[in-house]
Amino acid sequence: MMLDEDDDCPELVPIDTQPGPPVGQIPVTIITGYLGAGKTTLLNYILTEQHNKRIAVILNEFGEGSALEKSLAVSQAGELYEEWLELRNGCLCCSVKDNGLKAIENLMEKKGKFDYILLETTGLADPGAVASMFWVDAELGSDIYLDGIVTVIDAKYGLQQLAEEKADGLVNEAARQIAVADLTIINKTDLVTEEELKEVKDTVRSINGLVKIIETQRSRVDLSEVLDLHSFDSKDGANLAEKLQLVKPTRAHLDKSILTVTFEIAGDLSEDALNAFIQDLLWEKIFCNKDGQPMSVIRLKGIVSFADKGHQVMLQGVHELYELNETQQLWENPRINRLVFIGEDAHTLFCVYAPHTTLEQYHTPAVFS
Ligand SMILES: Nc1nc2c(ncn2[C@@H]2O[C@H](COP(=O)(O)OP(=O)(O)OP(=O)(O)O)[C@@H](O)[C@H]2O)c(=O)[nH]1
């Protein structure tokens, strides 16, 4: 076909990689932390700050072990909220005793539009289970999406809580809450010395090499540090690529079993090989420690390169779920893949592939390509 001379040349359009969640979905931030750490104080602080958002706060008993699945089935019914409080700045506060996403969705239908949902889990909850539920639900076209997981830590008693030994070799909830977090708030800094605070920070870092750490008194935070983190969608792509460069593998500290392992691999990966590796890790659980205990992943993140893609691809995982999404970031040479795994017995990843490697950054092209 000939182009009319007066016709403009078609403009180049960027590839539509659709970063971030679909338009119109409402972010949910999960707020977790051990008993008495300062979660409620944080929620109250957020609610009374000026933020021009209509925030709904949901206090509930998500993630109470086996109650979770059961509740998913029974939460179809109507009246799910118990107390309801409308604050002057437009915030809404309610207590949902029922578990499950349906409860929240019903709530939204009833009370109209919120701009934001904060969900406080109980102190003993495993937020990873709650997070995976939201993540799956967002994929299924829900009105809400998971924005991030914030863990509040007690500066004074946090270490003690982390050191508590659980029966049957179970990993302590306080450690899990840190492992899964995008942001940790070390609260009650007024009650500790500089040295004590440093020890808490070092311990948090020893569990989660990726997490952002801030310190507070009375949970007073800059709201931009807590809300709209986009920790699970590819809007975070550029930030994540930068952040991953700085992540260091961690060494066991107080909680001996959870730590962070990093891989750095130059060049393109094979998508099939990477999928196979992650599925072996998350689903088949073939990577075991010397006692035959499989590595259990709590969180994983990465920026990876596939030969047929000019854009960086983001890897995200929580528990047994993972996702690979193309970001808007174009690769520059050299392409360096970076993967970070946080989990129980994460060091077994090294033992499998490199029995003599210590926890230093490890180059392993053979595994993924
Ligand atoms: N000294 C001091 N006390 C604080 C600080 N932040 C919160 N507190 C107090 O610590 C206690 C527990 O705070 P909450 O916000 O209720 O803690 P929580 O995590 O919601 O507790 P649970 O709901 O029991 O899990 C309250 O008495 C707060 O007033 C702080 O920075 N310094």
Counting ligand 1 atoms within 8 A of each CB, the residue from 30, 39, 41, 216 with the most, and so the one to mutate, is 41
Nearest-atom number in ligand 1 for the CA of 43 is 15
User: What confidence score (pLDDT) does residue 141 get?
Assistant: 61
Non-local (6+) Cβ contacts of 46 within 8 A are 55, 118, 223, 226, 227
CA distance 343 to 39: 24
Nearest CA to 301 among 234, 214, 201?
234
The pair phi, psi for residue 226, each rounded to 5°, is -110, -40
pLDDT at 99: 53
Question: Is residue 81 pLDDT above 50, yes or no?
Answer: no
Which pLDDT value is given to residue 364?
41
Average pLDDT for 135-158: 82
The ligand 1 atom at the shortest distance from the C-alpha of residue 187 is 31
Rounded to an integer, the average pLDDT of 132-137 is 72
Span from the CA of 41 to the centroid of ligand 1 (angstroms): 6
User: Other CB atoms closer than 10 Å to residue 350's CB: what's the count?
Assistant: 20
**Closest ligand 1 atom to the C-alpha of 188?**
31
The residues near 52 (Cβ < 8 Å, ≥ 6 apart) are: none
Instruction: Provide, rounded to the nearest whole percent, the portion of the chain with pLDDT above 90.
Output: 24
| Residue nearest atom 13 in ligand 1 by C-alpha distance | 38
Confidence of residue 77 (pLDDT cuts 50, 70, 90): very low
Backbone angles phi, psi at 70, to 5 degrees: -60, -45
Residue 129 confidence (pLDDT) above 50: yes
Q: Atom 21 in ligand 1: which residue has the minimum CA distance? A: 36
The yes-or-no verdict on residue 337 having pLDDT over 80 is yes
Q: State the CB neighbour count (10 A cutoff) for residue 14.
A: 7
Residue 249 has pLDDT above 70, yes or no: no
> Which amino acid is located at 354 in the chain?
A
Specify the higher pLDDT residue, 46 or 355. 46
Cα distance between residue 241 and residue 329, in whole Å: 9
The SS3 assignment for 168 reads helix
CA distances from 249 to 258, 313, 343 (A): 12, 22, 12
The finding on whether 191 has its CB within 6 A of some atom of ligand 1 is yes
Confidence of residue 240 (pLDDT cuts 50, 70, 90): confident
Distance 187 CA to ligand 1 centre (A): 9
220 lines ligand 1 (CB under 6 A): no
Specify the 3-state DSSP secondary structure of 362: strand
pLDDT in tens, 199-222: 999 999 988 988 999 999 999 999
Is the link from the previous residue into 334 a cis peptide, with omega within 30 of 0?
yes
In sequence order, the 6+-apart residues with CB closer than 8 A to the CB of 256 are none
**Higher model confidence: residue 146 or residue 108?**
146
E strands present in 69-206 = 81-86, 92-96, 116-120, 144-154, 183-187
Q: Which atom of ligand 1 is nearest to the CA of 189?
A: 31
- Which protein residue has the closest C-alpha to ligand 1 atom 25? 35
Residues 303-314: tens digit of each pLDDT: 999 999 999 999
Confidence of residue 138 (pLDDT cuts 50, 70, 90): low
- Indicate if ligand 1 lies below 6 Å from the C-beta of 161: no
pLDDT tens digits, one per residue of 4-60: 444 444 444 344 445 555 567 788 899 999 889 999 899 888 888 777 777 877 766
Which pLDDT does position 262 carry in this prediction?
Answer: 80
Rounded to an integer, the average pLDDT of 277-302 is 83
**338, burial (CB in 10 Å: exposed 0-12, middle 13-18, buried 19+):** buried
Average pLDDT for 329-333: 90
Q: Is 74 in the pocket of ligand 1 (CB under 6 A)?
A: no
| Pocket flag, ligand 1, residue 219 (CB < 6 Å) | yes
Residue having the nearest C-alpha atom to atom 12 of ligand 1: 36
